[in-house]
Structure formats: C-alpha cells, structure tokens
Amino acid sequence: MGYELPIDPEALPLRRACPFLEANGLQAEGQSIGASKDQFSSYTSTLKRAKVVALLSSKGLLDAFVAEHWQHGASEKGRREIKRLIRIYERWIETGGTTPESGDQTDEDAGGEFALEEHLRDYLAKNLHVLEDGMTLWPVGENQDAVEFAVDDNNRRIDIIAKDRDGIPTVIELKVSRGQEKTIGQSLYYRARVKELFKVRKVRIVIVAGEISPELRAATTELQDVALFEYGISMSLKRV
C-alpha cells in the first residue's frame, strides 16, 4: 500500500501461534484461524488473536505459549490484554459469530450506556456515517486493525483510523467523559505519525467526547482540519 506499519512488540505474535498450535496437535484449528476472514466490530487480526487465546486457554496451553513465544503476555499489561482478548472472543460468540450491519442496531447501539470507551469506539467503528457521510474505516494491512491502530513501537494507538469520502485519512479519538485540552496534543502526535506512515500531506482529526470542555474548544480554534463532537445517550423500550 505504499507504506510500512510499525510492528507492535506487545501484540500476541500470530506467526508464532500457528506453528505452536500445530506442534501441539492443533494444526487444523490453527489453519482455520489463520485463514479466517471473520470480523467483529471491525476487528480482524485482533479477533484472530482472541481466537488463539481462547483456544490455548481451553487446551491448557496458554501459559506455555506465553513462556515460549510471548513474554509480554506474562506482564501486568499482558494479562490485561489477555482478558481483553477473551472478552472480545466471548462477545463474538454471543453474537453467533457475526457482526451486526451498520443499519441493524443492537440495544447497546441504539441507546445503551457507553460506560466504557470501547463501547463508544465499537459503535462508531460500525457507524462512521453518524460522524460524516461517506466516512469508512481505513483499509489497513493483514496484521493491523483500523480500531486501536498502532502508530509506533511504544504501543500508542489511535482509537479509530478512518478515511473520509475524499480519501483523506482521519484520526478519531474518543473520550467517554469530559474532553480535556490534553487530548489535542495526543491527536496532533497521531496526525504527525499518520502523515509519516501513509506519506500524505493532509490528515484530519475528529474528537468525540461526552462533553467538550471550554479548554479543548479553545485549543482547537487555531487548528485546521479538526472537528469536535459531543455524543448523547437515548433509551428505547420494547415490550417482550
């Protein structure tokens, strides 16, 4: 695609997972995961990692794989990542192994509580049109996701990397609570990295928060190509 993505040193190494599974009598399962095109809330490679973790855990092989091939998995951050991957896998299973179409909102989508930032992130990843007509996820490579897009080797991640209808890369950053002015510094760093990675001259920034603070509003007035959004929550009831 004309650019090289940074290697995420903390991500579960899929290239080592398949040979490990094969060596432990799980060749068919490993090949199935490797060839899978399944997607959940715009997760592709992350869903593959979630499947690997779930399989290894069910077979009692997770600790051995971590010790041999993924030392980061034994750290505190790594353990949190394992729990996150298991949650993603469980949510994928709960949906029957499908991702709802953008027009088919679930109860959570339609008015649930964005109690965690990941809920808001996953909703927007499936419904980018609510921000702007024609906005879609950026087409990333096989070992990356447009959601939680890694921009450097220090595990810094953009919440969502998208493109507008004119094909311009768009950094989308989310804050479930009051949007603070420090968010803009983080977003500007991400914009600089995306320009470098994608070899483009223009990158837009979109910040979505439960409330845009006066400080953040003031910080962005002199910046070009920055849009601010506040989200609201509604509720609907259905008799069953």
One domain, residues 120 and 82: no
Q: Which domain holds residue 220?
A: 107-230
Domain boundary among 62, 94, 126: 94
Residue 100 lies in a domain: no
pLDDT in tens, 210-240: 888 888 888 888 889 999 998 876 666 778 7
One domain, residues 121 and 154: yes
Backbone region of residue 97 per phi and psi (left: phi > 0; alpha: psi in -120 to 50; beta: other values): left
- The pTM of this model reads 0.59
pLDDT in tens, 3-39: 444 455 677 888 888 899 999 999 999 889 888 878 7
Residue 4 lies in a domain: no
Long-range pairs of 216-225 with CB within 8 A, sequence gap ≥ 24: 216/179, 216/180, 216/181, 216/183, 216/184, 218/181, 219/181, 219/184, 220/184, 223/184, 223/188
For the record, the structure tokens of 93 come out as 């299973």
Instruction: Please tell me the total count of domains within the chain.
Output: 2
One domain, residues 83 and 158: no
One domain, residues 112 and 74: no
One domain, residues 114 and 71: no
One domain, residues 79 and 170: no
One domain, residues 82 and 183: no
One domain, residues 52 and 122: no
Calpha distance 104→116 (Å, rounded): 21
Domain boundary among 72, 94, 116: 94
pLDDT in tens, 186-202: 899 999 999 999 999 99
Hey, which residues does 162 pair with through a beta bridge? 137, 170
Span 87-92, mean pLDDT? 82
6-42 exposure pattern, b = at least 16 Cβ within 10 A, e = fewer: eebebbbbbeebbebbeebebeebbeebeeeeeebbb
The pLDDT value given to residue 116: 59
